[in-house]
Amino acid sequence: MVKIAVILSSTRSGRAGEAVAHWVLAQATARGDADYELIDLADYALPEIDEAIPPAVGRYTEEHTKVWAGVVARFDGYVIVTPEYNHSFPGKLKNALDRVWAQWNDKVVGFVSYGVDGGIRAVEALRPVSASLRMADVGPAVALSSREDWSGFGGPFTPRAHQEQSLAGTLDAVVAWTNALHAMRTKVTIVA
Domain at 3-185, CATH from 2.40.50.140, 3.40.50.360, 3.10.20.30, 3.40.50.300: 3.40.50.360
Residue 150: beta bridge partners?
157
Sign (positive or negative) of CA dihedral 92, 96, 98, 99: positive
Q: Taking the model in full, what pTM does it have?
A: 0.94
Strands (E), 13-154: 35-40, 77-83, 108-115, 136-145
pLDDT along the chain (192 residues), means of 10: 97 94 98 98 95 94 97 98 97 97 97 96 98 97 96 86 97 97 71 54
> Domain locations in the chain?
3-185
What pLDDT shows up at residue 152? 74
Count CA atoms closer than 13 A to 158's CA, side-chain side: 9
pLDDT at site 188: 54
